[in-house]
Amino acid sequence: MRSITPVLIDYWHRLPASPVHQRRHHAQESCIRVRAGRLPVDALLPFVLGDPDEEVVFSATTAYVGSNRDGAAARRASINDAIEWVRRGLALNRGAVFAALLAKGDPRINARLLPLRLTLGQEEVSTVCRRVDHDARRPTRKFLREWAELLGAVDQDAGASSPVAPVAPGSSVADGVLAAGGCTVPSHAEKSRGLRSSIQRKTTRCQETRCT
Protein backbone atom coordinates (compact mmCIF):
# COMPACT_ATOMS: atom_id res chain seq x y z
CA MET A 1 0.00 0.00 0.00
CA ARG A 2 1.44 3.38 -1.02
CA SER A 3 2.04 6.15 1.49
CA ILE A 4 -1.14 8.13 2.03
CA THR A 5 0.28 10.77 4.37
CA PRO A 6 -0.40 13.69 1.95
CA VAL A 7 -3.96 12.47 1.37
CA LEU A 8 -4.59 12.21 5.12
CA ILE A 9 -3.17 15.65 5.82
CA ASP A 10 -5.41 17.11 3.11
CA TYR A 11 -8.42 15.31 4.62
CA TRP A 12 -7.59 16.67 8.09
CA HIS A 13 -7.24 20.21 6.72
CA ARG A 14 -10.78 19.97 5.35
CA LEU A 15 -12.22 18.13 8.36
CA PRO A 16 -13.15 21.12 10.60
CA ALA A 17 -15.30 22.62 7.82
CA SER A 18 -17.03 19.32 6.95
CA PRO A 19 -20.18 18.53 8.98
CA VAL A 20 -20.43 14.94 10.17
CA HIS A 21 -23.61 14.26 8.16
CA GLN A 22 -21.76 15.32 5.00
CA ARG A 23 -18.78 13.10 5.78
CA ARG A 24 -21.08 10.14 6.45
CA HIS A 25 -22.78 10.70 3.11
CA HIS A 26 -19.44 10.92 1.27
CA ALA A 27 -18.20 7.78 3.03
CA GLN A 28 -21.31 5.82 2.10
CA GLU A 29 -21.08 6.98 -1.52
CA SER A 30 -17.45 5.92 -1.66
CA CYS A 31 -18.28 2.51 -0.15
CA ILE A 32 -20.95 1.95 -2.80
CA ARG A 33 -18.59 2.96 -5.60
CA VAL A 34 -15.80 0.72 -4.27
CA ARG A 35 -18.14 -2.27 -4.06
CA ALA A 36 -19.30 -1.58 -7.62
CA GLY A 37 -15.72 -1.37 -8.87
CA ARG A 38 -15.95 2.32 -9.79
CA LEU A 39 -13.33 3.36 -7.20
CA PRO A 40 -10.15 1.65 -5.96
CA VAL A 41 -10.36 0.34 -2.42
CA ASP A 42 -7.65 2.79 -1.34
CA ALA A 43 -10.17 5.60 -1.81
CA LEU A 44 -11.63 4.54 1.55
CA LEU A 45 -8.40 5.11 3.49
CA PRO A 46 -8.98 8.78 4.41
CA PHE A 47 -12.32 7.80 5.96
CA VAL A 48 -10.86 4.80 7.81
CA LEU A 49 -7.73 6.46 9.15
CA GLY A 50 -8.50 10.16 9.20
CA ASP A 51 -12.04 10.56 10.51
CA PRO A 52 -13.01 10.50 14.22
CA ASP A 53 -16.67 9.62 13.61
CA GLU A 54 -17.38 5.97 14.41
CA GLU A 55 -20.10 5.58 11.77
CA VAL A 56 -17.78 6.88 9.03
CA VAL A 57 -14.89 4.69 10.17
CA PHE A 58 -16.99 1.56 10.77
CA SER A 59 -18.72 1.69 7.37
CA ALA A 60 -15.52 2.49 5.47
CA THR A 61 -13.54 -0.25 7.25
CA THR A 62 -16.33 -2.76 6.62
CA ALA A 63 -16.23 -1.97 2.91
CA TYR A 64 -12.42 -1.99 2.86
CA VAL A 65 -12.04 -5.45 4.40
CA GLY A 66 -15.12 -6.82 2.62
CA SER A 67 -14.13 -6.04 -0.94
CA ASN A 68 -13.69 -9.24 -2.95
CA ARG A 69 -13.15 -7.65 -6.35
CA ASP A 70 -9.43 -8.42 -6.48
CA GLY A 71 -9.58 -11.94 -5.09
CA ALA A 72 -8.79 -13.71 -1.84
CA ALA A 73 -5.19 -12.50 -1.66
CA ALA A 74 -6.25 -8.85 -1.83
CA ARG A 75 -8.91 -9.47 0.81
CA ARG A 76 -6.32 -11.01 3.14
CA ALA A 77 -4.07 -8.01 2.55
CA SER A 78 -6.86 -5.59 3.44
CA ILE A 79 -7.52 -7.48 6.68
CA ASN A 80 -3.80 -7.38 7.46
CA ASP A 81 -3.86 -3.61 6.88
CA ALA A 82 -6.78 -3.08 9.27
CA ILE A 83 -5.24 -5.20 12.01
CA GLU A 84 -2.02 -3.22 11.71
CA TRP A 85 -3.96 0.06 12.01
CA VAL A 86 -5.37 -1.19 15.31
CA ARG A 87 -2.05 -2.52 16.55
CA ARG A 88 -0.09 0.61 15.65
CA GLY A 89 -2.84 3.06 16.62
CA LEU A 90 -2.88 4.72 13.21
CA ALA A 91 -6.65 5.30 12.97
CA LEU A 92 -8.25 8.24 14.75
CA ASN A 93 -11.09 5.93 15.79
CA ARG A 94 -9.33 2.64 16.47
CA GLY A 95 -12.37 1.20 18.24
CA ALA A 96 -14.49 1.46 15.08
CA VAL A 97 -11.80 -0.33 13.03
CA PHE A 98 -11.64 -3.10 15.66
CA ALA A 99 -15.46 -3.35 15.65
CA ALA A 100 -15.63 -3.68 11.87
CA LEU A 101 -13.13 -6.54 11.97
CA LEU A 102 -14.93 -8.25 14.85
CA ALA A 103 -18.31 -7.88 13.13
CA LYS A 104 -17.06 -10.09 10.29
CA GLY A 105 -17.57 -13.07 12.59
CA ASP A 106 -14.51 -14.81 11.18
CA PRO A 107 -12.71 -16.98 13.79
CA ARG A 108 -9.38 -16.43 12.01
CA ILE A 109 -9.74 -12.64 12.30
CA ASN A 110 -10.94 -12.93 15.89
CA ALA A 111 -7.86 -14.95 16.80
CA ARG A 112 -5.66 -12.13 15.55
CA LEU A 113 -7.68 -9.58 17.53
CA LEU A 114 -7.26 -11.48 20.80
CA PRO A 115 -3.87 -9.97 21.77
CA LEU A 116 -5.14 -6.48 20.91
CA ARG A 117 -8.12 -6.48 23.28
CA LEU A 118 -6.39 -4.98 26.29
CA THR A 119 -4.65 -2.34 24.18
CA LEU A 120 -7.99 -0.58 23.69
CA GLY A 121 -8.99 2.27 25.96
CA GLN A 122 -12.34 2.59 27.69
CA GLU A 123 -13.82 4.78 24.97
CA GLU A 124 -12.64 2.36 22.26
CA VAL A 125 -14.18 -0.62 24.06
CA SER A 126 -17.40 1.37 24.32
CA THR A 127 -17.31 1.94 20.55
CA VAL A 128 -16.89 -1.79 19.88
CA CYS A 129 -19.91 -2.60 22.05
CA ARG A 130 -22.06 0.01 20.31
CA ARG A 131 -21.15 -1.08 16.80
CA VAL A 132 -21.23 -4.88 17.02
CA ASP A 133 -24.69 -6.15 16.13
CA HIS A 134 -26.88 -7.78 18.76
CA ASP A 135 -27.33 -10.68 16.33
CA ALA A 136 -23.60 -11.19 15.91
CA ARG A 137 -22.32 -14.53 14.68
CA ARG A 138 -21.41 -17.17 17.25
CA PRO A 139 -17.61 -16.61 17.07
CA THR A 140 -18.16 -12.91 17.79
CA ARG A 141 -20.54 -13.60 20.68
CA LYS A 142 -17.93 -15.97 22.13
CA PHE A 143 -15.22 -13.36 21.66
CA LEU A 144 -17.28 -10.72 23.51
CA ARG A 145 -18.15 -13.08 26.33
CA GLU A 146 -14.51 -14.03 26.89
CA TRP A 147 -13.52 -10.38 26.65
CA ALA A 148 -16.00 -9.49 29.39
CA GLU A 149 -14.55 -12.26 31.55
CA LEU A 150 -11.04 -10.97 30.89
CA LEU A 151 -12.01 -7.43 31.87
CA GLY A 152 -13.45 -8.84 35.07
CA ALA A 153 -10.27 -10.73 35.86
CA VAL A 154 -8.14 -7.65 35.22
CA ASP A 155 -10.30 -5.55 37.55
CA GLN A 156 -10.14 -8.24 40.26
CA ASP A 157 -6.35 -8.34 39.95
CA ALA A 158 -6.37 -4.57 40.45
CA GLY A 159 -8.36 -4.99 43.66
CA ALA A 160 -11.67 -3.78 42.23
CA SER A 161 -14.93 -5.62 42.06
CA SER A 162 -15.58 -7.49 38.85
CA PRO A 163 -17.29 -5.39 36.12
CA VAL A 164 -18.84 -8.45 34.50
CA ALA A 165 -22.59 -8.61 34.90
CA PRO A 166 -24.76 -11.58 33.92
CA VAL A 167 -26.42 -11.29 30.55
CA ALA A 168 -30.20 -11.31 30.81
CA PRO A 169 -32.22 -13.62 28.54
CA GLY A 170 -32.83 -11.94 25.21
CA SER A 171 -29.90 -9.57 25.64
CA SER A 172 -26.68 -9.58 23.68
CA VAL A 173 -23.27 -10.26 25.14
CA ALA A 174 -22.38 -6.66 24.25
CA ASP A 175 -25.33 -5.55 26.41
CA GLY A 176 -23.85 -7.51 29.26
CA VAL A 177 -20.47 -5.87 28.87
CA LEU A 178 -22.14 -2.46 28.70
CA ALA A 179 -24.23 -3.15 31.78
CA ALA A 180 -21.17 -4.43 33.60
CA GLY A 181 -19.28 -1.20 33.07
CA GLY A 182 -16.72 -2.61 30.66
CA CYS A 183 -18.07 -0.17 28.08
CA THR A 184 -18.75 2.83 30.29
CA VAL A 185 -19.60 5.97 28.33
CA PRO A 186 -16.64 8.36 28.61
CA SER A 187 -16.93 11.51 30.69
CA HIS A 188 -17.27 14.97 29.19
CA ALA A 189 -13.63 15.65 30.07
CA GLU A 190 -12.53 12.54 28.18
CA LYS A 191 -14.60 13.57 25.15
CA SER A 192 -13.11 17.06 25.15
CA ARG A 193 -9.48 15.97 24.78
CA GLY A 194 -9.48 17.84 21.49
CA LEU A 195 -9.62 16.64 17.91
CA ARG A 196 -6.80 18.97 16.95
CA SER A 197 -4.26 17.44 19.33
CA SER A 198 -5.36 13.96 18.25
CA ILE A 199 -4.85 14.86 14.61
CA GLN A 200 -1.46 16.38 15.35
CA ARG A 201 -0.33 13.16 17.01
CA LYS A 202 -1.58 11.09 14.08
CA THR A 203 0.09 13.44 11.60
CA THR A 204 3.41 13.06 13.39
CA ARG A 205 3.04 9.28 13.53
CA CYS A 206 2.08 9.08 9.87
CA GLN A 207 5.04 11.20 8.88
CA GLU A 208 7.36 9.00 10.91
CA THR A 209 5.94 5.71 9.61
CA ARG A 210 4.65 6.96 6.21
CA CYS A 211 1.33 5.26 7.07
CA THR A 212 2.27 2.16 5.10
Please report the pLDDT score of residue 74 as a whole number: 86
Please report the pLDDT score of residue 152 as a whole number: 74
Give the other-Cβ count within 10 Å of 169's Cβ.
5
Digit-by-digit pLDDT tens for the chain (212 residues) are 456 788 889 999 999 999 999 999 999 999 999 999 899 999 999 999 999 999 999 999 999 998 766 778 888 999 999 999 999 999 999 999 999 999 999 999 999 999 999 899 989 999 998 998 766 788 888 898 888 888 776 555 555 443 434 444 444 444 445 444 444 433 333 433 444 454 455 445 555 554 55
DSSP one-letter string for 60-82: HHHHHHH--TT-HHHHHHHHHHH
What is the separation, in whole angstroms, between the first and last Cα of the chain?
A: 6
Largest CA distance in the chain: 54
Please report the pLDDT score of residue 60 as a whole number: 97
CA distance 144 to 51: 25
Question: What are 194-200's contacts with CB under 8 Å, separation 24+?
Answer: 195/15, 195/16, 195/52, 198/52, 198/92, 199/12, 199/15, 199/92
CA distance 133 to 65: 17
- Determine if the pTM surpasses 0.85: no
Burial bucket for residue 38 (CB in 10 Å: 0-12, 13-18, 19+): exposed
Best CA proximity match to 95, nearest among 143, 57, 67: 57
What one-character DSSP code corresponds to residue 93? T
Please report the pLDDT score of residue 138 as a whole number: 85
167 phi, psi to nearest 5 deg? -90, 125
